[in-house]
Structure 1
Amino acid sequence: MAPLPPTPNSHRHRPSTSYRSTWPSALLTTIAMVATSCLSARAVGHESEPVPLVIVERSIIQDQGGWQVDYRLRHEGPTEINAAPAEIQAKVEGWVSNSRIANHAVPRMSSLSVSGQAGWSGSGDVITSADENQRCRERLVLQIWAGNEPDSPLFTAAKPSAESSERPLSIAPGAVIRVRLRLEHLHSLYGDYDPLLSQRTVELHLGSAVLRDLVPMEREQYLALPKSTWPSPPEDRLDTRHFISAPDSLHLEAHVTGNEAYKFADRPVRYGTKMRLKYWYLIASGTEGGCRVRITQYKETSTFKILYEAAQEERLTKVGRWTKVERTFQTDREATSLALEFRINDPNDTRIGEVWIDDVSLEPVLASPAGP
Structure 2
Amino acid sequence: MTTRTAPDFAVSLFPANGLAREQLAAKTFTAGITEPDDAPEAARQAADIAVAAVLSDPLVPKAYAILALAQPEEAKRRAILDVASQINRRDLFLQGLVLQEHIAERNYPRTIETLDQILRVNPEYSREFFPVLVEALGEEETIPLFANMLDGSSPWHQRFLNFAVGQREILPNLAVLRQDVFVDDENFDRRLIAGLAGQGDIAGAEALYRRVSGSDTGLGRYGLLDWKSAYPPFDWRFVDQTGFRAQQSADGKELELSVRPGKGGIIAARLLRTPEPPFEIRNANRISPADQLRDVRLQLLCANSQTPFYDERFSNGADGFRIESLPQDCEHMILAINARAWSGRSALSGTIQSIEIVKP
TM superposition score normalised by structure 2: 0.32
TM superposition score normalised by structure 1: 0.31
Which has more strand, going by share of residues?
A: 1
Which has more helix, going by share of residues?
A: 2
Higher Rg: 1
